[in-house]
Amino acid sequence: MTVQVADNLFTGEGETTRLLAGRRRSDGKLLFPYPSGPEAENYELVELAPEGTLWSWTVQRFRPKSPYDGRGGEHDFLPYAVGYIELPGELIVESRIVVDRFESLKIGLPMRITTEAYTENAAGEPVLTYAFTPKGSAQ
């Protein structure tokens, strides 16, 4: 069994994944992630587009500080790409990027949503987060 990193962040898994945003009832403005608590009453839940373009990116080459809870310690941490994906007509969202070679990433590259098991919980179950990968890749 897999679990999601947070509630109301995304739905689905792999290519069926969709980010969950809030559309403010008063003016239609989108907010990601979907708000929680009393503020959520001012929003309707909407699914964002599954594809976009790479707006900017970098490589996380050292283990982030707490509260990061991903795999690897200070000496066995595996670098990963992180960036901003523009979902046309909607939002620009920050995301992990699943890619075999960092050198293949270019601004404007078509991207699609997916999920990634980035750690395990105390029961040993994979914990999924959303990520983007180059469109047409085998991820």
Instruction: Report pLDDT digits (tens) over 37-60.
Output: 999 999 999 999 999 999 999 999
Q: What average pLDDT does the chain have?
A: 92
Residues of the chain with pLDDT under 50: none
Burial class (CB in 10 A: 0-12, 13-18, 19+), 99: buried
pLDDT value for 74: 82
Tokens found for residue 89: 């007509």
Tokens found for residue 29: 């403005």
Give me the percent of the chain exceeding a pLDDT of 90: 72
pLDDT value for 28: 96
Rounded CA gap, 112 and 20, in Å?
A: 15
